[in-house]
Amino acid sequence: MLGRRQPRERLVEQDLCDLFQTHRGDVRLALFELEKKGLVERIPNRGAMVRGLTPLEVREIYAVREELEVMAVRIIPFPVGPQDIESLEELQRQHAAAVIAGDLLTVFYSNLSFHQFLFGLCGNACLIETIELLARKVHGIRFYANAFPQSLDRARRDHLDMIKALRSSRRGELIELTRRHLKPSPEAYIKAYERRFGTAAAPLD
């Protein structure tokens, strides 16, 4: 989940037991939970492996994510109330502290909470649900960019800039930040995929 495993890499239960000093039952339960999250796939008679979306699948998912997330920020009612801004600032502080501490798991979940709150401001329940559904499809992908400190710092700065744009009701700037913020994860994942399996598709635009 932290981007330390490659796409379609086999997950051998005994190796995981040795790595985490735990029992096979615990490992199987963990793999079951990761499968439900879409991070692992289990193949009959072959065991579990890291789910490996193809570059084409990644591009398609992120193209839809971009349009949906931009739609959400287009319809956020302005001005945004001070209490909502304060809530986003608190989530941003949690994310920034995790980045500084190198706590990648908290980085992931605090980033998730920041964007859930941000898109929740649009007030469209169907749109919010669809955004979250697509986000879950690429949970594993989002960790690949987190391996690079410059990507983590860029995400931290993007959050600050998003809050500034919200506070000042600068919708155009918020839209551009939303588009830009999505780029690093699929780019990092596709590079890792192509290093492992060869170039399977044209580079990202």
pLDDT tens figures, 35-64: 776 677 787 777 887 767 889 999 999 999
Using alpha carbons, list the distances in angstroms from residue 121 to 76, 112, 115, 150, 152: 6, 15, 10, 28, 24
If you search the block for the tokens 């930040």, which residue do you land on? 177
Report all structural domains of the chain as residue ranges with CATH numbers, in order of start.
10-50 (1.10.10.10), 55-197 (1.20.120.530)
- In degrees, rounded to 5, the angle at the alpha carbon of residue 170 between the alpha carbons of residues 177 and 78 is 115
* Nearest to 189, CA basis, from 144, 137, 136: 144
Average pLDDT over residues 182-190: 91
- Residue 93, pLDDT > 80, answer yes
**pLDDT confidence bin for 203, thresholds 50/70/90:** very low
pLDDT given at position 201: 45
